[in-house]
Chains A and B, each alone.
Chain A
Amino acid sequence: MAKKSFKGRPLLPGNLEGKALVSKQAFNTSASYLENMFAGRTDSAPCTDSANKDLYKKDLSGAILCTTQTVGSTMGAGCIMGMNDLGVGLKAMLFSSHIDSIAAAGLYMDDIWNDRRIITVDLLGDEFLEAVKTGDPISIKEDGTVEVG
């Protein structure tokens, strides 16, 4: 496939290459990590949000997650930090929309307080989410450029 390039806002910049994991709908943070939050799982992070047809049962551990924004419990910030504690956090979060306040809180707290970075880019635009598919090669640059393909 031809490479497509998108320019977003690098909130927590970094360079990373990998494969995309895509959720066309908003990512419900707390609903997605039930096994890790409550059942002691630390070897992987199968998405437990059955309302999310794109991600349900897929492993979130170490993923480059491409989605619109996060939703769900206001405890979601604690959840982001908690998953990094368990070693099953995401590697990157790529948002097509503006970052929401819950994700921003968790991502910044963990980055600055615990020195654990999840590379974060927002405002990539609806076209980004229309173009990217799960499994696509994806390359993130420090300046917020994201290349798909």
Chain B
Amino acid sequence: MDAVGRAGTALDPAIPRSAPPPPPGVSLPARQARGLAADALHRLLRDPAAMVGLVIVLLMAGMAVAAPLVTRHDPLKQALVERLKPPSQNHPFGTDNLGRDVYSRVVYGGRISLRVGIFAVVVGAIAGTLLGLLAGYGGRVTDSVISRSMEIVLAFPSTLLAIAIVAARGPGIENTMLAIGLISIPVYARLSRASVIALKERDFVLAARCTGASGSRILFRHILPNGLSPLIVAATLGIATAIVEAAALGFLGLGAQPPVPEWGLMLTDARNFLLNAPWAMIFPGLAIMLTVLGFNLFGDGLRDALDPQLRR
């Protein structure tokens, strides 16, 4: 068993570069993958659109993390004498209907949106990937059950399903994250299932199987690392979708609850004061758009970088 295990590691992604060249006919995906990764990174760094996206994302994330340092006002502090004030030096984005500083609320709102986006993607990606791996590797019945279930989830327009789930479970950030994560499961399930099906008959997987590697070892050490790139792209673009969807739920009153400075919820408040205080509506919306644009640009660039055939 020990010898088999060692033989298995010889085909692992951790193969040393100084290893002797493989005999003809044995493919070494791990070695290629490292070459590809460096290659992809090189392409990514030279893609101006992707870099703009990355800068936007880092900027928004940096502001959110350093919120107390880059703002002067408490995002929750009301000052009725200051209500609906236009942008000024003291309040760069103006104040809202309760006299709260819109700039502080937008910056702190980034914390919530990014958290929701990332958490929802983590939930969806982990659950979806596991289901997809199982569907692709687990035999016809398992595949059929999982694939049909995913088709049923996909039969619903995604936002509507998220709304229905949150409506049933009750409004709030946790349910928002859960609902958005749940509706994104089929995306990752389909991608990882496709990877398994494409890879499971390849030589390196067959070789691993010959060495006696267990099913889970083959899935997680051999197949998953080689089918990871579409999942990474989907997850990056998925954060963008999740942020918009969370803001939409917030806007409908189903997401974050007052007085939390969430971007969608801020738009709901600002909606009634369009005539007097358009700034309270403009800046939270711009923040959503910019963040989402950042993730979309970066995700697009990542896809191009990881799949050179897609490049135009």
Chain A complexes with chain B: no
List residues of A whose CB falls within 8 A of some B CB.
none
